[in-house]
Amino acid sequence: QSSLSTFGAGKVILLGEHSVVYGHPALAGPLSQGVKARGVPSKKCQLSLPSTLSRGQRALLTLAFARAAKLVGEPPVKVSLDPELPLSVGLGSSAALSVACARLLLLAAGKEATPREAARVAWEMEQEFHGTPSGVDHTTSAEERLLLYRRTPNAAAVGRGRTVESPRPLKVVVALAGERSPTKKTVAALRERQARWPERYRRLFTEMGRLASEGAKAVEAGDLEALGDAMNVNQGLLAALGLSSPPLEEMVYRLRGLGALGAKLTGAGGDGGAVVGLFLEPEAAVVQLTRLGVRCFSSQLAGPRAP
């Protein structure tokens, strides 16, 4: 058996993070950046980890990998990872890693690594990483398409995504700001607030879900201005939910100042993390931000690509 290599895409949520955990739709697309996995024949099924990781990270990854490996029948392969994405910033690095590992394990076991199968195996790892994830991250990563995603009412099962076709190129700039808070913590703190004041939070989640559905329609109609406006309103609601912070707000305004049609935090939010801006021409913004020392990149999420 020769060596194998696979890829799991990172993701960016354009509309509906957090409210997606409560059953509302979210609009999310794949990044061209992600995590690569490589597998070489081995006596047993194992994950080889870089020494740069902390003990806690190693333990978590080993546990998550063991769950996925068991599901696939522990094929004799040694897996190593090569992340091209910044880890733990809200860009779905854990989901990208899970999808890359899932595809590799499936191929090593002589099975087909279809998006659905890859998502099923990756879900096993995501539950270890996040506790009660909505499933939007690994589904977007495995499907590699712009999706309007909704989790199933059964919290233990993966949800479904509907493909959203874009007649126009959908281009974004992703910029990093502040110190990242772990997703698990941000999700848990919000859960406490919503349990205390359920009616108030339910109203905001419902509105965020509506914005995601309207945003999907705007994409399909080629109305990027309407999508941008939905993103700006969504940012206001995320701030209302206590999920934004000065570094994220500053970056949001920076991107809008550079011509973004809409800009908001993406992923879990908190003290810092990733901000996404929708741009017609993202390259100039990336040059300006890089000059200012901001870690950023551009990506096309959907729509026709230049030849």
Q: Quick one: which segment of 65-73, 133-141, 249-257, 297-305 binds ligand MEV (CB under 6 A)?
A: 133-141
The three-class DSSP label of residue 251 is helix
Residue 187 or 212 having the CB closest to ligand MEV: 187
**Residue among 131, 74, 83 nearest 106 (CA):** 74
**From 10, 15, 17, 81, residue interacting with ligand MEV (rule: CB under 6 A):** 17
Residue 96 or 268 having the CB closest to ligand MEV: 268
Q: With contact defined as beta carbons under 8 Å apart, do 292 and 266 qualify?
A: no
Residue 22 or 279 having the CB closest to ligand MEV: 22
Residue 132 or 288 having the CB closest to ligand MEV: 132
**Residue among 119, 120, 117, 175 nearest 142 (CA):** 119
Q: Is 86 in the site for ligand MEV (CB under 6 A)?
A: no
Q: Quick one: which segment of 12-20, 100-108, 111-119, 222-230 binds ligand MEV (CB under 6 A)?
A: 12-20
137 is catalytic: yes
Dihedral of the alpha carbons of 216, 213, 120, 88, in degrees to the nearest 10: 80
**From 124, 128, 137, 144, residue interacting with ligand MEV (rule: CB under 6 A):** 137
The three-class DSSP label of residue 223 is coil
Q: Is 231 in the site for ligand MEV (CB under 6 A)?
A: no
Q: Which residue has the tokens 């999808």?
A: 99
Smallest gap from Cβ 264 to ligand MEV, in A, equals: 13
Rounded Cα gap, residues 2 and 14, in angstroms: 39
Alpha helices in the chain (DSSP H): 55-72, 93-108, 115-130, 136-143, 183-196, 198-220, 224-240, 246-257, 282-291
**From 69, 187, 216, 233, residue interacting with ligand MEV (rule: CB under 6 A):** 187
Catalog residues that contact ligand MEV under the rule CB under 6 A.
13, 17-18, 20-21, 90, 92, 130, 133-134, 136-137, 183, 187, 267-268
Q: Catalytic residue numbers?
A: 137
